[in-house]
A and B are shown apart, each in its own frame.
Chain A
Amino acid sequence: MPNGKIVTLRQMQSGQSGKVVQIQGGFGLVNRLSALGIRPGKRITKVSSMLMRGPVTIQLGNTQVALGFGMANKIIVELD
């Protein structure tokens, strides 16, 4: 059951899943992420993140995508 908790992708714990609700970025970022399949409504699972503002890896369907720290901070997720 979704408990409605809204966090950024960066704040998610590894292994948590959720639904993307918003991308807080300009047209360029939204465009780039949607091309990678990351867009509002999409279910994602965080796989891991690196120490010291390193990249965040997420699972999207059958692929894994690694995103820079900055991008991860702009993706808003509603936790399951």
Chain B
Amino acid sequence: MSPLDFVTDLFNPDLSFLPKALAVALMSSVVCGVVGTFVVLRGMAFIGDAVAHAVFPGLAIAFAVSGNLILGGTIAGIVTAVLIAVFSQNRRLKEDSVIGVFFVGAFALGIVIISQTPGYAGSLQQFLFGSITGIPDSDLYVVAGTGLLILGVLFALNKEFVAISLDRESARAMGVRVFWLDLVLYVLVTLAVVISVQTIGNVLVLALLVTPAATARLLTDRLGVMMALAPAIGGSSALIGLYLSWSWDLPTGGTIVLVLTVLFLLTWFLAPRQGLLATARRRAHPPRVADRAVRVGA
């Protein structure tokens, strides 16, 4: 199918779920790209994974009682994030063990709950791997509103998040409220995951958080550039992924993640400064010693 046919389908009133899916996928990948910058820079990928799994029991309960999925997922994710933050204060256990305990526990709870609801097999698959059909109109507004809220908080507290990422102890000494800001960041990650789960699925949402930001990091040494590049990479991958999955009847979440992964691999090899090719080229033609001395400087 040509891109033109895809655009035609987007405006076909019989396929009204398609533009909605595209809008949600674009919004969530942009938001995840920005939030993911801090997930990648702080080595929080495991926390992202934990939160992604932890929203599952909330989705399952909301589904069982026909409640709002986004609200259910948010509550479950935040409860888990708070539990992790509190239990991590115990010095005997490292944070990753606490995360391991809670995220699998939450996921198990979700599976047990959803198995009690009639016709769960289909909905289980929908939760785990995402679905582009059945997005209600109201979700568009909820996703847009939540996304703007996430981005707003992230930009407002950017200075604090940077200071904490650089050096927690000095941030504390400067009077920055490290514990509360950690909690805020966990909640932002949770919200970003929840608005993305619908289209991309519970298991794959980690890719939206981590892969675009990791790819952007390979291309720049500037935080501002990274925070612009990551959502651009995420958004274009969502667009290309949805197009490919629609053309070839592939699962949407999986296709978007594969596009992201291919972009990451291409960047790994071809990035102008840190890429494998550039490194190899530098090794073949090292700068002359005089140049190097100037570069190292004082």
- The answer to whether A and B come from one shared complex is no
| Residues of B that sit less than 8 Å from A by CB | none
| Residues of A that sit less than 8 Å from B by CB | none
